[in-house]
Copies of this chain bind each other. A is one copy, B any other.
Amino acid sequence: MASYEDVLSLSVRRGFIWPAVDLYGGLAGFYDYGHNGILLRRHWEDLWIESFLGLSDNYHLIDTTTILPEAALKASGHVDHFTDILVTCTRCGESYRGDQLLEASTHEEQEGLTTQEVDAQIQELKIRCPNCKGVLGPSREFNMMFPVAIGPTGKDRAYLRPETAQGVFLNFKREFEALRRKLPMGLAIVGRAYRNEISPRQGAYRMREFLQAELQIFFDPATFADALPFDAIASVPVRVAWAAEKNGPGAHEIPAKDLVNRGLPSWYVWHLVQVQRFYLDALRIPRDAFRLAELDEKERAFYNQIHFDIQVRQESLGGFKEVGGVHYRTDHDLKGHEAGSHTKQSVTVGATKLVPHVLELSFGVDRNVWALLDLSYAKGDRIAPVPVAVFPLVNKDGIPERAEALWAAVRKRIAAFYDDSGSIGRRYARIDEIGTPFSVTVDHETLEGKGVTVRERDSQKQFRVSEGELADTIERLLSGEATFPA
């Protein structure tokens, strides 16, 4: 079993991710990316953009400021509702999250409690300060946003954004005009968000500064389903855990059409299938390590009407853990900004005038990177953060161009690095360090139609294969269907 410390140690040694500012004693909840971490993260981001922005030619990346004014976050509900329950020790002053204190005592998940309920349970269970055994003070709501004062007088109150989504909502109307005035329209941001966690003790899983990849799909609920080819995925088995089973280790495999029969909108299920495809086919997560876990009303954020967490099973984190979510936010956000800004957010599409509804595909990028590191930890198995690297043998004679074209083709199916810097020996050493099991070299013989060389890290054996068969061959090797040389 890989412990959290095992994975973190591998991560630090190989230059993936490490606690920030260790030179000054560290900063709880903050992590930096080393040179290999950035390669892996950019690879994940590229796949994400290909997979989800590729769903429609009316889906686009944008980027917005990480600092937002109070008025906007008041309208979104974050100023009033984006809180955790804070409990402070009256003796040593240590701070705790109320739900975590109760969970440590009851070994049961606690969600959606009020301060009164937390106080009552602390009394009933006779919970003392875990640090000094002192008496715990009364709990209170603590807003998790970081305030920022703008300008020399600080009179413009603002916050670091708690999610990238709000930047998209604020730009909805402007983009609707600048684009083609059509729905569905998708706007995505890959960018930072900030949450002033009370006590971020779960390491890289719960960060105060983190990266999100979120796609907001604006749609008309009356017609959204019509535009999606649901029939093509109706029989796809979707790995689902229901709300009541979410602490269990398993998942059901339920055909997409049966999820619709159980009452989920077909457009929602269609997107669950796309998310599952991203994890199983693009990222190549083992099937049994992936599931979509339903959240009930008490667990969902206040703005979500349907919510499944995207979960990946990670030994280092003790089981299935959230790496993203599929959130039906309804028209909550645009209506909120309409009221807050006194500016109509409705649009006219054909004969219909409406405030669009929003489906949010939300991913924690750092949590995804951690999941890939966790899954690649088990030595000897075929899961690596990036399973293939493509090299041109030399940087001339059209060989780099051929290698790049091959790389472009391979990485549509398999995570792949491209590296043309330094000697081949150095490049082997570099991917060995990352744990990449297979490398592919393009040389002069490739130009003569004699294929490419595949090298296996562990055995250092090599063999040649045609370019056309390369991706299939690597996939068979990765899945264990074939052994080397294939």
Q: Which residues of A contact B (CB under 8 A)?
A: 12-15, 18, 20-25, 27-35, 37-39, 41-42, 54, 56-57, 60-69, 71-72, 86, 88, 93, 95, 142, 146-153, 156, 158, 160, 167, 170-171, 173-175, 178-179, 187, 192, 194, 196, 198, 208-209, 337, 340-341, 343, 401-402, 404-405, 408-409, 421-422, 426
Contact = CB atoms under 8 A, between A and B. Distances in A.
A56 B170 CA distance: 42
16 contacts: A13-B178, A15-B178, A31-B65, A32-B62, A32-B65, A32-B171, A33-B62, A35-B60, A35-B179, A35-B187, A66-B192, A67-B194, A95-B152, A402-B405, A404-B409, A408-B408
Contacts of A340: 24
Given A150-B196, A151-B95, A401-B405, A171 B34 contact: yes
A404 B21 CA distance: 41
Contact of A148 (B65, B142, B148): B148
A72 B23 contact: yes
Contacts of A27: 65, 67-69, 150, 156, 158
Contact of A174 (B34, B178, B421, B422): B34
Given A171-B32, A405-B401, A408-B401, A38 B63 contact: yes
A69 B21 CA distance: 8
B24 A41 contact: no
A343 B158 CA distance: 36
Q: How many copies does the complex hold?
A: 2
A37 B57 contact: no
Given A38-B63, A175-B15, A24 B341 contact: yes
| Chain A, interface SS category | mixed
Contacts of A18: 174
B95 A179 contact: no
Contact of A23 (B151, B170, B194, B405): B170
- Give 7 nearest A-B pairs by CB, closest first: A405-B405, A57-B421, A35-B60, A15-B178, A57-B422, A33-B63, A32-B64
Contact of A72 (B24, B151, B198): B24
Contact of A179 (B15, B152, B337, B341): B15
A183 to B, nearest CB: 16
A56 B171 CA distance: 40
A62 B35 contact: yes
B21 A65 contact: yes
A64 B174 contact: no
A24 B209 contact: no
A190 B67 CA distance: 18
A343 B23 contact: yes
A392 to B, nearest CB: 12
B209 A65 contact: yes
A63 B41 contact: yes
